[in-house]
A and B are shown apart, each in its own frame.
Chain A
Amino acid sequence: MNSVEAVAINAAAFVITLALFGIYVATLGHNPLDVYYVLWLGSFARQISIESTLTNAAPLMLTALCTAIPARAGLLVIGGEGALVVGGVATVLAGMLVAGAPFLVGVTFMSLAGALAGGLWIAFAGALRQYRGVNETISTLLLNYIAIAVMYHLITGPMRDWERVLKTSSWSIPDALRVGALPVIDVHWGLAAGIVVCLILYVVMRRTTFGFGVDVLGGNPRAAQMAGLPINRMVLICCFMGGAAAGLAGAFEVTAVHGFASESLVVGFGYAGILVAFLSRQNPAAIIFLAIILGGVAASGGLLQRRFDLPDATTQVLQGLLFMIVLASNAAYGRLNVFQPAAWRTA
């Protein structure tokens, strides 16, 4: 399974998805080429669209890790949405606690709180699987619903900011602790955090003995047991790291984007992150690029909807279609002779 092959197959999946979407739009009486142009316009054509793309990409990088890291250990975790929400709520609570603290201390504390909450949230699912045999895919999906319900409970009652009338939300974190934009480009610091975390995890997974052990475990748990690897601990660490990444995404959504927890945290970053993780084939470095591409799709969604009078769900349909095609394209791996070293398989 080499990376040239992966890139080629992924690119083909993108092209097929866009072609199918173009055909659909053509049946509505629009010129498909206009659609592709608008996609380009809304995602990468101008500085403002690039900024919007990157702002969307930042949380996607982190939620993608929530699926990708446990997947390397053989778990199919889809709890990024819930971990992000939990992380966001924890960030607000932490922000209340450190009001008045110096900026760096306060922001670090809030980020760590968000990461810790998200990490523990997914590690709980990991523990349920290791110690009770509960299927982690179902449990993390349920935990998404639970996290959202708990957040609604908190922002409509115990943590509600009654001053804000137009929107139900939690208290706001102190203004002094709000995180601003990166230098040069108007994108918040969450992007830098996402890229750095992806790179660090890439190094951990590819270059360290821990990463090798995780790959053994993900490749064959029985071989890992035979080698005496501490499997439960490894699974919990992977789940924690993935959940912490998603929790960090929630922390930045609060500290850099909204300033409070509200339904704006539940916009599908977690689900889009699953798609990014699958596209990247669980490679944390590849996640950076694929998150930017999918961030572009999300960024151009609004423009696309307005220009062609399409419903809000357009982006979700595109994502779902792409996901399905990418999974189907798994069947193509190893089939394309171009990518096979000559006469590799003998018997």
Chain B
Amino acid sequence: MNMVSQLAVEAPPSVSIKGLTKRFGALTALDDVAMEIRPGAFHALLGENGAGKSTLVKCLMGTYRADAGHVLIDGQEASIASPRDAQRLGLGMVYQHFTLVSSMTVAENLVQGEAGLGAIIDWPARRERLTAFMADMPFRLELDRQVSTLSAGEKQKLEILKQLHLGSRFLVLDEPTSVLTPDEADQILGLMHQLTDAGRISVVLISHKLREVEAYADEVTVLRQGRLAGRGQVGSLDRSDMVRMMVGEDQLAASAPRVTHDAGEALLSVRGLSVEDDKGVPAVRDLTLDVRSGEIVGIAGVSGNGQTEFVEVLAGQRAETGGHIEAGGRRYGKTRAEMRALGIKLLPEAPLDNACVRGMSVAENLSLRTYDTEPMARGGIWLNRAEMRKRAAGLIARFHIKTQGPDAAIETLSGGNVQRTVLARELSEKARILIVQNPCFGLDLKAVAEIRRQIVDARNEGTAVLLISEDLDEILELADRILVMSDGRIVYETPRSEADLQEIGHHMAHHEE
């Protein structure tokens, strides 16, 4: 690990944030927040989704302008108006992998944004330096590989390499482990920890995973609803203290009672399914599985291992290249008639983009499955918008959707309420087969508990549920049977009773070796 010696002798800056406030319209995303990061600290920024963590670091990185408050770097007030200013001050942010240019090579991505890059790039000299830089890194990437061919973990590594190469001494890692296997996460966070221990860089780890915070961070700052909820040394806080800081004193809905029963007949069967991604590369390979009535089958896996393409095939959004799907014992052609007859319902990830029409109202979005049936369509042809609104009003009340009313545009709803809207639509009629992907991504804990409860209720009533999630905890909580998907294949299966975190994590990493 002599990369430490490679980094410039310059020490990381001390960063202190004072009274930071940021508003978006009527919403106050950050309210008078203070934070102190001493040089060489491994500092965790903890909070639920929507607590203001991203807003805080985006203000620090110059992506947003704060409405009030200031940032002191080494005691000097700093004005950070753009990411470039932040870079000049040695502040760098590692995104999940949004800042890489996928059509470019590793070398081109590393050189990007380098200070003092001349108008004409002297590639031989640059490559020599990059090769030397890479040689000292514990994880290496070939300089000539195109980024689009890298795995999610490799992209994450490239993001970190890029920041170190740019000379950042203060790194913000934005939920870095959500796209990594547990082993990769430990490897990367371990390396970061060595660097902070050596006093060469400071790290701010944004996370909502307490395990990671306890294992790697020295100090922690907790945000809740845009306000500072607490801070301290990780060593002197226990888990319950941190949870209380994160969620407040509110009681969470208890997890849904699970009826014990034997699973029934197989309602959804996938047989030898193969699918290609947008570039024509195989994403799902020869996948076979069954989901039976009254059970939740959970598919765990690191994102980018074919889950999205698999769900898209089930949703009719992508064509399979081989194999087939059976529903209710017959070949499934993904037509509206079959969906209705078999009660096939779906809650895909990013529901606003995948399952809603932005320009349409909540009522119209709630009617996508039923607009052509009585009473909303007379004779199957003439729309009855009054009925549509009436039915929508009922669903809004039943599923606690927060909206101005049935006529409000779906875009005006918060993420959690969009999720509820889609769930209301999909569960308003009897679902025999329910396919759910990352249902709780980006939601606060209360909404999470509510949505998980709905899923378990459906299972208790005999629905066959296929749950695809990147959140291993979610799978462990909900699934009756756990499958691990890696590189487009199911590589491991275990019943809930015998599930072992280490074993599952190992199989998630399967293809990396």
A interface with B by C-beta (< 8 Å): 1, 207-213, 215-216, 219-220, 222-223, 225-230, 343-347
B interface with A by C-beta (< 8 Å): 24-27, 315-317, 334-340, 346, 348, 353-360, 364, 368-369, 371-372, 377, 380-383, 404, 408, 412, 414
What's the nearest-Cβ distance from chain A to residue B52, in Å? 13
B355 touches A209 (CB 8 A): no
B24 touches A347 (CB 8 A): yes
Partner of A1, one of B316, B334, B359, B412: B359
Listed A/B pairs (27) with beta-carbon separation below 8 Å? A207-B383, A209-B371, A209-B381, A209-B382, A212-B371, A212-B372, A213-B371, A213-B372, A219-B357, A220-B353, A223-B355, A225-B317, A226-B315, A226-B346, A226-B348, A226-B368, A227-B336, A227-B368, A228-B334, A228-B335, A228-B337, A228-B338, A228-B339, A229-B336, A345-B25, A346-B27, A346-B412
What's the nearest-Cβ distance from chain A to residue B314, in Å? 10
Chain B residues whose CB sits within 8 angstroms of the CB of A347 once the complex forms:
24-27, 414
Which 9 A-B residue pairings sit nearest by Cβ, starting from the closest? A228-B336, A219-B357, A209-B372, A225-B317, A228-B339, A347-B27, A225-B316, A220-B357, A227-B368
A345-B412, A347-B26 known; A223+B357 contact, CB < 8 A: yes
Alpha-carbon gap, A212 to B353, bound state (A): 18
B404 touches A344 (CB 8 A): yes
What is the interface of chain B mostly: helix, strand, loop, or mixed? loop
A225-B315, A228-B334 known; A208+B357 contact, CB < 8 A: no
B25 touches A208 (CB 8 A): no
Chain A residues whose CB sits within 8 angstroms of the CB of B315 once the complex forms:
222, 225-226
Chain B residues whose CB sits within 8 angstroms of the CB of A346 once the complex forms:
25-27, 412
A228 touches B27 (CB 8 A): no
Partner of B354, one of A226, A343, A345: A226
Nearest A-chain residue to B29, judged by Cβ: A347
B316 touches A228 (CB 8 A): yes
What's the nearest-Cβ distance from chain A to residue B217, in Å? 30
What's the nearest-Cβ distance from chain B to residue A194, in Å? 25
Other 15 A-B pairs with CB < 8 A, given A213-B371, A225-B317, A346-B412: A207-B383, A209-B371, A212-B383, A215-B360, A216-B357, A222-B354, A222-B355, A223-B357, A223-B368, A225-B316, A226-B368, A228-B340, A343-B26, A346-B26, A347-B414
Chain B residues whose CB sits within 8 angstroms of the CB of A208 once the complex forms:
381-383
Nearest B-chain residue to A203, judged by Cβ: B382
A208-B381, A228-B335 known; A222+B353 contact, CB < 8 A: yes
Alpha-carbon gap, A228 to B316, bound state (A): 7
Chain B residues whose CB sits within 8 angstroms of the CB of A213 once the complex forms:
371-372
Chain B residues whose CB sits within 8 angstroms of the CB of A207 once the complex forms:
382-383
Alpha-carbon gap, A37 to B371, bound state (A): 51
Alpha-carbon gap, A230 to B368, bound state (A): 14
